[in-house]
Structure 1
């Protein structure tokens, strides 16, 4: 039980929205967090796409039917659809509560942070 409380306290210290007092303040803070993560994701995605395209232009992956850059674009579009559907499901679960937007944005922040790790160009 003590470990659970300590873990929760650490999360609270890391949460830039911890000082938000109203639902509107929390939602605004979460939206800002998501916007920042989304911007970071777009930057990482562009870097990886450029890396793949540069490799292709240098003759990398000869004989490959589908270019990796094309496959990445398709995968990213499908990932966005997945993220949105997944988080919309959570929104619908809490539709009648004032927590719905916080849950929805929290989901999008979490999914986006994970995708940033997955698309890190250093790992490709």
Structure 2
């Protein structure tokens, strides 16, 4: 029984190697294939999202501190920010889905969606930073 399990593991490992070797290499400096363009757009979105999350968390610290210093019945800055951010995420996702629909069903649709989300995310990061700078 141990030998059967061992052989199954060996065969599974062997069959995995070609799949890994066939993964496309990304060239985000000059993408030529649609899969590269889509994957690079996804990387750009991930990077923009990381920046947005960092700025958002920094702003939340400020709004919580402002709320802690507010007089009775004056707190609510942080709650308003969270509500606004959730609404913005819903807007971004819906708008970019609609924007990408121009290529609906095609291989370019996910690329358009990711590019749209990355662009709006960068703009939102700037908005959050501007608010933080004014506090």
TM-score normalised over the length of structure 2? 0.72
Of structures 1 and 2, the one scoring higher in RCO (CA 8 A, sep 6+) is 1
Give 4+ residue runs of structure 1 displaced > 6 Å after superposition: none
1:119 and 2:115 are equivalent in the alignment: no
Q: CA–CA distance in 2 between the matches of 1:43 and 1:101?
A: 25
Deviations 1:48-90 (A, max 9, x none): 0100101221x225532x6010010011000000000000101
Deviations 1:71-124 (A, max 9, x none): 100110000000000001012221143321221111001110110011012134
Q: CA–CA distance in 2 between the matches of 1:98 and 1:83?
A: 21
What SS class does the counterpart of residue 89 from structure 1 fall into?
helix
Q: Which runs of 5+ in 2 are unaligned?
A: 1-26
1:70 and 2:86 are equivalent in the alignment: no
Deviations 1:17-74 (A, max 9, x none): 34111111111111011001001100000000100101221x225532x601001001
What SS class does the counterpart of residue 119 from structure 1 fall into?
helix
1:33 and 2:44 are equivalent in the alignment: yes
* CA-based RMSD: 1.7
Aligned residue pairs, count: 107
Q: CA–CA distance in 2 between the matches of 1:17 and 1:61?
A: 51
Q: Which runs of 5+ in 1 are unaligned?
A: 1-15
TM-score normalised over the length of structure 1? 0.78
Query: Against the structure 1 CA distance between its residues 117 and 123, is the aligned structure 2 distance closer, same or farther, given a 3 Å change threshold?
Result: farther
